[in-house]
Homo-oligomer: A and B are copies of this chain.
């Protein structure tokens, strides 16, 4: 069996021209039913598969979606990637993946490479490096693009992400119902919308419930930030009743550092996370958190992208999807 059988061979086998064969296989042009059957049978028999390269050259469309994430190794992004891969695959797109390694310059370069590869559209989870503190509007290419997970700078594209305010609201409310009267926030700074929105929502909900809030610790979404938060707490004369961490990773770092400092969770202090990672259920104690609707985010993002690929020039849309509260050991006494 020849490794590549061309349309010409199928046409010859079916006794028609390439043009007819093409039409028969495409099925959207007027071709006699009889030839359609014959051509399809021959194609099947010979194991014909269209050459996507030739088709792309001719049609200007690759059926490829590019996705750029800050770091594939981060479980949140890898799960998002997983979900996006499934959805785009279901829509007939293949996924070209690029990792910006949390470097805005590299991110821009990767976007350009993907555009050069003629992807039909791109999904971007923008990076925010500590180095490049200012937000760069990441649109160096004229390919349909939707931002996913978070936004840097003023939105200049469609956006799909979690409803941060709602999630934080759920957590604060839950902690209040657990009897917490003082709550500290340990999370990311204002460089991207997630950090900003979670912090603002925390403030707003704390106020609504009349909760006292010691000064927060705000930096990144990483373990390190959690450790810093724990150290701040260990230095405080009076510990807060609870800590709202801006991410599961922060909570992990926080809890393990508190433990080293002799403060245990949930006995001495309640802690919540944000993201709903698998590890949250394996950690000790299991972590109360808010679960990101990853599948829904992936689904909606691909929908947005498809409509842009199909030529929509509607105003930028922003889609916030509700997360779900998952109560666990870190807030259960």
Contact = CB atoms under 8 A, between A and B. Distances in A.
A139 to B, nearest CB: 13
A108 to B, nearest CB: 15
Interface string A237-274: 00000000000000011001001000000000000000
A236 B71 CA distance: 44
How many monomers of this protein are in the complex? Answer: 2
Contacts of A71: 82
A75 interface: yes
A79 interface: yes
Interface stretch (A52-60, A188-196, A299-307): A52-60
Interface stretch (A168-176, A198-206, A212-220, A277-285): A277-285
A163 interface: no
Interface residues of A, number: 43
B118 A51 contact: yes
A95 interface: yes
A52 B118 contact: yes
A282 B252 contact: yes
Interface stretch (A96-104, A122-130, A310-318): A96-104
A73 interface: yes
Contact of A72 (B85, B117, B279): B85
Given A73-B75, A73-B82, A142-B3, A118 B53 contact: yes
B73 A78 contact: yes
27 contacts: A49-B116, A52-B116, A53-B56, A53-B57, A71-B82, A72-B79, A72-B85, A74-B78, A75-B75, A75-B78, A78-B81, A81-B97, A82-B99, A85-B98, A85-B99, A94-B98, A95-B97, A95-B98, A96-B97, A97-B97, A223-B282, A252-B282, A253-B282, A256-B284, A279-B282, A282-B283, A283-B283
